[in-house]
């Protein structure tokens, strides 16, 4: 239960800069998701924190200790792998006890800890089985028990659930969250899956090309993306481009859009992001922003309808609506869209 800090860490392989100037802090007891496209450096960052990779520059701190030059085995970390990585020639109990043995805990004391850990992951009575006799989900629980039993300073997980099917995955998410909350263990979780990142984590860090582009609470990162990349990578966004004019933004079509974001000086180019679900099909309400658009496609997805629209000057706009009355609008209809300046975010492009 410790702060983990990464300070100006950089890593280069050959001529590719995999990580550039990464500085971030993982607060004690927090559950952070590292989110980013493939190749953005998530695994590399996690492995630098774990100690499998030495950074070219920068410092890794666990608690008050600079661990940059301490190898993996001396860092007291809990690690979970996509492939479970249980020791196939040991029983479940021996697997879980492995880390305890390294700490000189043996015999009855170890046995008690092992039993407690297996109970925590709801696998009591599995102690004497071999890993092969367990299902994938059960093996991953054992891996969690094995990582937790040593009371690590930080729990590191690299896409630990992506080998599981959807139901098991959700079940494990709930389990992981419960155990993380109960233990208050600082946890760093790498995932591709944004829904997983948003539901599990209390902090999301978005990586792009080896840089952390935004860190914050899931709701903040989602509602207030600071860059075009973040707005696009996490969820869906419409982007409106225009010029600042008297505290508002004039689009190329001449439409003036208001925003609650702070804008740069008059005359500068800006990009505004609007989430498709924040737009509503006009009810003649008093929302400040409005666009006319023609429906090009209606996508029926059960509870949600997605409309793909086109404004008269050819800009594509996406809108998500709750499916309250079924499909009433159809392709070719022209509608007007409303949305609030609150939901109009100026982003760096």
Partner 1 sequence: MRSDAVLNEAVRGPSGPRKHRMLPSWVATTALLLPTYAWLTLAVLLPLLTMFVFSFMSATPMGKAPITFTLKHYRAFIDQPYLLNIGWTSLVIGFWTTLLCAIFGFLAAVALARATVGRMRETLLILILLPFWTNGLVRVFSWTMVLRENGFLDNVLHMVSADTGSISFLYTRYAIVLGLVHGYLPYMILTCYIALVTIDDAIIEAAASLGARWWTILFRILIPMAAPGLISGAVLTFVPVIGSFMEPRILGGKVGVTMGTVIEDQFTQAFNWPLGAALSFTLLAVVLAIFATFSGVLRRGAAA
Q: Where are the alpha helices (DSSP H) in the chain?
A: 42-50, 92-102, 107-120, 136-148, 166-183, 194-200, 218-223, 228-233
Please report how close the Cβ of residue 139 comes to partner 1 at its closest, in angstroms.
12
Choices 37-45, 74-82, 86-94, 235-243 (CB under 5 A): range interacting with Mg ion: 37-45
Q: Does 282 bind Mg ion (CB under 5 A)?
A: no
Nearer to Mg ion, 149 or 188 (CB): 188
Contact 342, 260 (CB under 8 A): yes
Choices 77-85, 165-173, 216-224, 236-244 (CB under 8 A): range interacting with partner 1: 77-85
Please report how close the Cβ of residue 250 comes to partner 1 at its closest, in angstroms.
55
Q: Does 43 bind Mg ion (CB under 5 A)?
A: yes
Please report how close the Cβ of residue 31 comes to ligand ATP at its closest, in angstroms.
19
Contact 77, 1 (CB under 8 A): no
Please report how close the Cβ of residue 74 comes to partner 1 at its closest, in angstroms.
8
Contact 280, 320 (CB under 8 A): no
Among 39, 88, 124, 312, binds partner 1 (CB under 8 A): 88
Query: What is the rounded CA–CA span in Å between residue 131 and residue 163?
Result: 16
Q: Does 192 bind ligand ATP (CB under 6 A)?
A: yes
Q: Does 76 bind partner 1 (CB under 8 A)?
A: yes
DSSP 251-308: ETTS-EE--SS---STT-EEEEEE-GGG-EE--S---SEEEEEEEEEEEEETTEEEEE
Do strands 238-245 and 248-251 pair parallel, antiparallel, or not at all (unpaired)?
antiparallel
Which stretches of the chain bind ligand ATP, using CB under 6 A?
13, 18, 36, 38-44, 192
Name the site residues for partner 1 (rule: CB under 8 A): 50, 52, 71-79, 81-83, 85-89, 98-99, 102-103, 143, 146-147, 150
């Amino acid at each position: 239960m410790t702060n983990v800090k990464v300070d100006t860490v950089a890593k280069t392989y050959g001529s590719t800069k995999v990580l550039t100037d990464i500085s971030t802090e993982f607060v004690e007891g927090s559950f952070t998701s590292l989110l980013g496209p493939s190749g953005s450096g998530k695994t590399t960052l996690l492995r630098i924190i774990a100690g499998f990779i030495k950074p070219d520059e920068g410092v890794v701190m666990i608690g008050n200790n600079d661990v940059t030059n301490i190898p993996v085995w001396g860092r007291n970390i809990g690690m979970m792998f996509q492939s479970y990585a249980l020791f196939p020639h040991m029983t479940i109990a021996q697997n879980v006890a492995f880390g305890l043995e390294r700490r000189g805990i043996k015999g009855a004391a170890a046995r008690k800890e092992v039993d407690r850990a297996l109970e925590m992951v709801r696998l009591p009575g599995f102690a004497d089985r071999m890993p092969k006799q367990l299902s994938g989900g059960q093996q991953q629980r054992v891996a969690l028990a094995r990582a937790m039993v040593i009371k690590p300073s930080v729990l590191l997980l690299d896409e630990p659930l992506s080998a599981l099917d959807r139901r098991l995955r959700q079940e494990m998410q709930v389990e992981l969250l419960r155990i993380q909350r109960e233990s208050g263990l600082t946890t760093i979780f790498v995932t591709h899956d944004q829904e997983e990142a948003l539901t599990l984590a209390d902090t999301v860090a978005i990586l792009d090309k080896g840089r952390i582009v935004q860190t914050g609470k899931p709701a903040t990162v989602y509602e207030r993306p600071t860059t075009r990349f973040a707005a696009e990578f996490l969820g869906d966004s419409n982007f409106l481009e225009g010029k600042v004019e008297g505290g508002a933004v004039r689009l190329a079509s001449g439409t003036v859009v208001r925003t609650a974001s702070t804008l740069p000086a008059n005359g500068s180019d800006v990009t505004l992001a609007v989430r498709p679900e924040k737009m509503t099909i006009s009810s003649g309400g008093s929302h400040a922003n409005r666009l006319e658009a023609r429906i090009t496609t209606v996508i029926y997805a059960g509870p949600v309808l997605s409309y793909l629209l086109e404004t008269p000057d050819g800009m594509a706009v996406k809108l998500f609506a709750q499916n309250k009355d079924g499909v009433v609008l159809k392709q070719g209809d022209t509608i007007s869209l409303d949305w609030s300046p609150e939901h109009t975010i100026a982003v760096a492009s």
